[in-house]
Structures are given as structure tokens and as C-alpha cells.
Amino acid sequence: MSSYRIGIDVGGTNTDAVILNEAMEVISATKIITQDNVSEAILLALKGVVQQANIPTQRITHAMLGTTHCTNAIVERKHLNKVGIIRIGAPASMAVKPLIGFPEDLQSRLGNEVYLVRGGHEYDGREIVPLDKQAIYDAAGKMKGKVDSVAITSIFSPVTQDHEEIAQAIVKEVLGDDIPVSLSFEIGSVGLIERENATILNASVVNVAKAMANGFITALNEEGIDCQVYFGQNDGTLMSVEYAMKYPIYTIACGPTNSLRGASYLSDVENGIVVDVGGTTTDVGVLVDTFPRESALAVEIGKVRTNFRMPDLVSIGLGGGTIIRIKEDNTFTIGPDSVGYRLKEKAMVFGGDTLTATDIAVFLGKANIGDYNNVAHLDVLLLEKIYQQMIAMVENAIDQMKTSGESEPVILVGGGSVLFPWQLKGAAHVYKPENFGVANAIGSAISQVSGQVERIYSLDQFGRLEAMEEAKRLAIEEAIAAGANPDTCKIVEIEDVPLAYLPGNATRISVKAAGELLK
């Protein structure tokens, strides 16, 4: 008896869905235009892919969804929770109160239940001052009936989480178990404001995540599917429903990550460069041991600065629907605007009146879609020139992402990847895997589960090796807690950064472990 899994990935232009069999082979795939209603697109994609597969639905054992619900809620300021905000750290940190860097429209959405109480820790684990438990009882009492969720942040909680955990117990004692509590040490890393911001945002989308999860499970049930449900997060790994309810913020930006992971899986390449060509843009990312390389920059979500980790991407304004304009003197421009999801009405090969990147490729025989006769009259020399420039744009983006002059494997995925040739400058080999158009949904379906820790260690006290070993052990424990099979867990990322101006060789160590889903 074979079993199946469904992977769905929501993108700005399209929502893709696939069904894989036990051997992880694609048995059906579908593409739906996302437009404005994400939930509707997911439903249609699900219906489409199930119908096409024609398999007994009770054999579907897993469903993975990578979605933009939480991102959209924060960016559009819709359906956000009223958040009770508790910061533990006074008298320190009073000069920078919570929400100070938030845009005003978001501040007013989140409400004004903000409390700063005495407590928190030093970098070496000492208390700044003892935790003022009474102040937390008082804060929780005042919030009662006014908040949907609570965000708690304590200074240096990535080193010592005691004060956050004690505060959580008090809040639950006063407000009951129905009000979800987000603790900062579980959300972000060292950097109080950014971690607190991420924690507040996380608390603000708990209800959105709940509605999204319930909607997905209902949709599955309506198709007669009763299976384990997982959500994609932006490091290319999965969360269980319970985890996603606690950490919905991790779903943000899982889409590009899914494409990278899917590309790695389809091509069997572990280290290389992925070029994901969509309708409007092309994203170029880097695979390091099958996972995306992460960006070094601070990340803004809905104009709020956080210390989230995001995949390192270069995005250029060139996709299948990119508009090409030819002037009277035969000079031309490529994009950056695009006909987007309306390719099939606007592009010349589909009978439209707009010259797009797709038309160029069809004319030159690089791709075989639509009707060649609609473009047959165009000037071959000029179009060849335009095409060369399109290739140069992608080659330049590839080069920007490389870390040395050496050639690397390049994997082309995404619906628009047919545009590009089998040879690219700087590519040791160009892969155009089968099912390239739905690499993102496949990436969602094959995801693993992970655990991550970030702590500050005094190497004089611990010794480097011992500190590393402890961090690795904690990361694997986290992965197992998230649903990973202990036998398949391995460390996928280690980073240590020494901290300036501190004694005892203080070093920040961050470790990520990942493993296959426990069946």
C-alpha cells in the first residue's frame, strides 16, 4: 500500500500544488493564480491536484503548506491580535521602550497594553536585578479582557530564560490558558529590540495562523483527506500545527526557501546556485548543503525591524512576463514591469499585444509555447541582442551570489526558467530538472523538521569544543521536539561569532539541526 503527500506553496503570482508518492516522485501538479484571496487559491490548488492525481484520498498521509497568510496580515495590518507586551529588564532599557520603532498605524492596531518590569539578566547569567513578580501579576491583571495574546521579552533571555518562563506562568495563572503567550527566547536571538519586535509580531498573528490552519484542515477534510498537517518555515523546514500556532512568524518568507530546497531535491545538487524564474522577477539564491544560505542584513517585516533569519537572495526584475519595449531607433528596455499573471492574455504568442520576455524566447526557438506565428515577423538581429542582454542580467546576478571565481552548478527552476539556455557564464553545469515549474511546491512537500539554538558562551569557562557540543545537543533536542526522527537528525549549520569588548572569550554560537519527519 503506497502512501502520498501533498505540498502546496503560495506565491505572489501563483499558488502551486503537487502530490508525491512514497518514492517522492511527482504524480500530479497544478498551478492556480493567487490574486487577492490566498485561502481561495489554496483551496482551488488542493482540489485541482487531488482530482488530477486520481488516487484514494485516504492514502494521503502528509500535507505541507507554505503560505503568505501571516506576512499579508502584518503588511496589510489586518486581523491582528491586541497584544499585551511585557518587557522584563527595568531599570535597564527604559531609554528605549517597546514599540518605539513601530510605524504608528501598526502601534494602534496592537493596542497600548505595555508594561516594563524589573528583572532580566546580564550577558554572563547574573541577574540585573531580581525579577519583580508582583509587577507581572499587576500587569496581567490590568490586561485582563483587553488582549488576545501576550508577548514577553526579558533582557538576555537567549542566555538565561528563567525570567520569561516565570512571567509566563504568572500570566497564565491570571489570564488562563486560552490567551497564547509568546516568549522571546523562543523567537529571536540576541538584540533586545529586534527580538522583542519579532515576539510582538509573532503574538499579533496567532489568531491569523489559527484561522489559516483550521481552514486548511477543513479543506483537506472536505476532500476526504485525514492526514498529518505541517507548515513551512523560512529556513526550509517544517512545523507541526501546534508549533505553527506558537510560532506563526516563522512562516514568513518560506516561499523562496521552498524553491531553493525543491531545486536541490530535483537536481540532486547539494551545493550550488538556484535561479528561480517567476512571472515578474528572478530570485537567485545559494544552496549550502541543500539549505539556503542566510542573509546578513537586518530584516524588516511590515516596516518593523527584526532579527529574523532570511534566505540570502538577489532579485532582478526579469521574469516570463517582463515587458520588452523597443523604441524607434531600435534601442530597447527590459522591464522591470511585467504583465504578471496575465501572461496568457497579454503576451504576443498568446495573441496579446505586449512584447514579453516569453515572446523573445519563443521567437528564438528557446521555448515552445503559444503560437510562434504571432511573433514570426519580428527582427531577428534585434531580438537576439535583447536575448543576450537578458542572459547577461541573469549571469550577473549569479556572479554576485558566488563566493569565488570558480564555476558552480546552476539549477534553473520556476515557470519562467524555459527562457534561459543550457549554457551560462560561471556555471559548471546548468540543470533544468523535470517538474521545474513546481519546484517550490515540491520543496514544501519534501521539507524536513529542524531545531535551532543560539546562546552566548564564555569559552574560558566552557572550552570551545564543550560549548559547541552543548549547542549541538540542544539543537537536536529542539528538532526532535518539533517532530524529527532522532535517527535522521544531523547538524546542518554552525556559526560562532566572538563578541567584542568582553572578557572570558565570550562567543555567540548558533547551531541548527534538521531531520526527516517521524512517520
Q: What are phi and psi of 515, to 5 degrees?
A: -155, 170
Dihedral-angle region of residue 25 (phi above 0 means left; psi in -120 to 50 means alpha; beta otherwise): beta
Strand order in the sheet with 448-458: 26-33, 14-20, 4-10, 60-66, 228-232, 237-240, 448-458, 506-515, 490-498
Interface with other proteins, residue 362, by CB under 8 A? no
The dihedral built from the CA positions of residue 346, 352, 357 and 358, taken in this order, carries a sign that is positive
> Cell 537536536 identifies what position?
476
Closest to other proteins by CB, 191 or 215: 191
First-residue to last-residue Cα distance in the chain:
15
Interface with other proteins, residue 114, by CB under 8 A? no
User: Which span (73-81, 97-105, 217-225, 380-388) binds other proteins, by CB under 8 A?
Assistant: 97-105
Work out the number of other CB atoms within 10 angstroms of the CB of residue 255.
26
Interface with other proteins, residue 498, by CB under 8 A? yes
Dihedral-angle region of residue 115 (phi above 0 means left; psi in -120 to 50 means alpha; beta otherwise): beta
CA distance 380 to 362: 12
The least CB distance from residue 94 to other proteins, in Å, is: 4
Interface with other proteins, residue 313, by CB under 8 A? no
Site string for other proteins, 236-275 (x = CB under 8 A): ----------------------------------------
The least CB distance from residue 429 to other proteins, in Å, is: 21
Q: Could you check whether the bond before residue 98 is cis, i.e. omega within 30 degrees of 0? A: no
Interface with other proteins, residue 336, by CB under 8 A? no
Residues 167-206 that bind other proteins (CB under 8 A): 190-193
Closest to other proteins by CB, 48 or 191: 191
The least CB distance from residue 433 to other proteins, in Å, is: 24
Interface with other proteins, residue 512, by CB under 8 A? no
Interface with other proteins, residue 494, by CB under 8 A? no
Interface with other proteins, residue 35, by CB under 8 A? no
Contact in structure between 175 and 157 (CB atoms under 8 Å): no
Which DSSP helix (H) or strand (E) runs through 334? strand 332-338
The correct pick among 113, 165, 399, 477 for binding other proteins (CB under 8 A) is 399
Residues 136-155 that bind other proteins (CB under 8 A): 155
Work out the number of other CB atoms within 10 angstroms of the CB of residue 445.
32
Q: How many residues in the chain? A: 519
CA distance 403 to 493: 17
Interface with other proteins, residue 156, by CB under 8 A? yes
The least CB distance from residue 352 to other proteins, in Å, is: 30
Q: What are phi and psi of 3, to 5 degrees?
A: -120, 165
Compute the CA torsion angle 396, 401, 403, 409 (nearest 10 deg): -80
The correct pick among 12, 101, 317, 421 for binding other proteins (CB under 8 A) is 101
CA nearest to 415, candidates 517, 321, 293: 321
Interface with other proteins, residue 403, by CB under 8 A? yes
* 178: Cβ contacts below 8 Å, ≥ 6 apart: none
The correct pick among 37, 40, 105, 126 for binding other proteins (CB under 8 A) is 126
Interface with other proteins, residue 425, by CB under 8 A? no
The least CB distance from residue 464 to other proteins, in Å, is: 11
The least CB distance from residue 191 to other proteins, in Å, is: 5
The correct pick among 100, 169, 392, 428 for binding other proteins (CB under 8 A) is 100
User: Which span (118-126, 247-255, 466-474, 477-485) binds other proteins, by CB under 8 A?
Assistant: 118-126
User: Which span (59-67, 123-131, 260-268, 319-327) binds other proteins, by CB under 8 A?
Assistant: 123-131
**Quick one: cell of 276?**
528561480
User: Which span (28-36, 399-407, 417-425, 427-435) binds other proteins, by CB under 8 A?
Assistant: 399-407
CA distance 168 to 162: 10
The correct pick among 24, 428, 481, 497 for binding other proteins (CB under 8 A) is 497
The correct pick among 92, 369, 393, 491 for binding other proteins (CB under 8 A) is 92
Please give the residue ranges that form the binding site for other proteins (CB under 8 A): 89-97, 100-101, 120, 122-124, 126, 128-129, 155-156, 190-193, 286, 293, 296-298, 305, 312, 399-405, 497-503, 505-508
